[in-house]
Structure 1
Amino acid sequence: MCFHTKQTEKVKKLEEHYSVGLYKKQEDARESFDIPYYHQNGFDHPFNLIIPQEASKLLIVGKWGIVPETYKPEETSLYYTKQIKWGSGLNAQSEKAFGYYFYEFNEAILHRRCIIPVTGFYEPHTLPNDAKIPIHIKKKDDGIISFAGIYSVLEGGLVTYTIFTKKASSMFAEIHNSKKRQPLMLGLNETKVWLSKDSSEDEITELLTFEFDNTELEAYPVSKDINRRIDSNVSTITNKVDYRERPKEIKNFNLDNYQGKPYLPHLFN
């Protein structure tokens, strides 16, 4: 699942990358969104910039954690608490886009698709002794990654969104080896189809299983501070960590013998 992200690009770079502009009524938010975040915990339900299908030439502010439109803005915290067992609206299974999420979120997959720009994210890797190591995933060129999602619009115009996840590719099956899931990432051309009001159900369905080119990505272990209730939004949180030097943090598991899969030597050597 994708509960932890990074977004370090300035708004201007996002505008140029997607050929969009920040919503003028939210222009006063530009300065705050120009501040890089190196680690963001989804369970804090932060506000981020997204590109909505209904205004696909704009970046708008959305709250991470989709909430049904039957709820009032002041009831979002109650909803997140009730749904915490299922991830508090942070992620949605792409396989249910035309099922549960179709009926519960006002057919959002047809009319309210969105793109969530990030520059990295974090997934847990579980060792054979059940010790977990956080893995940072980013593009090799440090570029922008486009997550696909859907959103809702609550009373008063509050936008809430969720990130779609899908069955893991071979790379992500080794990284996120407990759940074997990964976020749905789209290429720049695919984002245009995703956001288009003219895209057919067949085109949307095909994108829900889109296989991103994993050769564009790199992944490596980082500090467990991202899972601790401390301020981990610091640039050093993205530094690679060699857990051979921190044996207690992995219950003294011997990483030197942890071989045999194509991505693991890259992750732990």
Structure 2
Amino acid sequence: MCYETSLTKTSRQIEARYGPMKVPMLYEPWYHVSGFVHPNLFCIPMENPKEIYPMEWGLIAPFGERDVLSFRRKYNTLNAKAETLLTSKMYQVPTRERRCLIIADGFFEPHYKNLKGSATPYYCYLEERKLFTFAGIYNEYKPDYWNVSLITREANSLFAEIHNKKKRMPLVLDPDFEGEWINPDLDDNDIQEVLATSFMREPFKAHPVTRDLYKRDINTNTPRVIEEVEDLGNLFDR
């Protein structure tokens, strides 16, 4: 699972890497945001790969459009599992027809020293906190209102150590596969191959951050939320 991200770069830095924002006035950098408040993520859609669109986090299926609040109480669509994308009634159409890139520069995963105890959040990022993209799928709920799910898959060895309860990780795309994921000519076999082989080749870094990230009524959109904290038994110090 991946329910929390960061995107701390300026709009100018993002546009220099990925192209213009369709609705630039909606963008503000963030150090931490939770998917459970359904924020906008900034995404490059398959149907218009030269622009960046704001998309509300949490895909809405067509059958949920009449009552979005009820739909979201029943279904958590912040993430979509790579293994079932093409068989899920919820996700198979957007997987075939509406794939996207979700822009970020970091994300947060829970680590458990004791699998029955509380979690320590770990901040995960590339060297120099470079921009990257998650694989995503999206729908258009009504004109100019998009919503998106972030794709996850079975964790590799690093993220199995970090996210050691669920052992999942977001599908961060290697730059060589970004264009391929939003290629409209992919068939089901092509999609499966990209899902299986496209994870970022560059190594990730990770460090423990404040548990305030999990508390209510605390502003977590501050620089301190991504600063490393001392965590006895840090899994990288073994």
TM-score (norm 1): 0.82
Q: Partner of 1:249 in structure 2?
A: none
Q: Partner of 2:40 in structure 1?
A: 47
Q: Partner of 1:242 in structure 2?
A: 230
Once residues 115 and 150 of structure 1 are traced to their aligned partners in structure 2, the CA distance between those partners, rounded to angstroms, is 8
TM-score (norm 2): 0.92
Which aligned pairs between 1:120-199 and structure 2 lie closer than 5 A?
Answer: 120-128=106-114, 130-199=117-186
Listed one character per residue, the Cα deviations across residues 182-220 of structure 1 (whole Å, up to 9, x for unaligned) are 000101220100111123332211111235346531000
Q: Which piece of structure 1 moves more, 8-17 or 188-197? A: 8-17
Listed one character per residue, the Cα deviations across residues 233-259 of structure 1 (whole Å, up to 9, x for unaligned) are 111111101034xxxxxxxxxx2xx7x
Once residues 97 and 225 of structure 2 are traced to their aligned partners in structure 1, the CA distance between those partners, rounded to angstroms, is 37
Q: Partner of 1:119 in structure 2?
A: 105
Once residues 66 and 242 of structure 1 are traced to their aligned partners in structure 2, the CA distance between those partners, rounded to angstroms, is 36
Q: Partner of 2:15 in structure 1?
A: 15
Q: Partner of 1:252 in structure 2?
A: none
Once residues 238 and 214 of structure 1 are traced to their aligned partners in structure 2, the CA distance between those partners, rounded to angstroms, is 23
Once residues 142 and 173 of structure 2 are traced to their aligned partners in structure 1, the CA distance between those partners, rounded to angstroms, is 30
Larger radius of gyration: 1
Q: Partner of 1:79 in structure 2?
A: 71
Listed one character per residue, the Cα deviations across residues 82-104 of structure 1 (whole Å, up to 9, x for unaligned) are 22xxxx2100000011111xx33
| Unaligned stretches of 5+ residues in structure 1 | 245-254, 259-263
Q: Which amino acid aligns with 2:9?
A: E
**Maintained 8 Å contact 2:108/2:124:** yes
Q: Partner of 1:92 in structure 2?
A: 80
Q: Does 1:232 align with 2:217?
A: no
Once residues 215 and 115 of structure 1 are traced to their aligned partners in structure 2, the CA distance between those partners, rounded to angstroms, is 18
Once residues 157 and 60 of structure 2 are traced to their aligned partners in structure 1, the CA distance between those partners, rounded to angstroms, is 32
**CA RMSD in angstroms, aligned pairs only:** 1.8
Q: Which amino acid aligns with 1:205?
A: Q
**Maintained 8 Å contact 2:85/2:92:** no
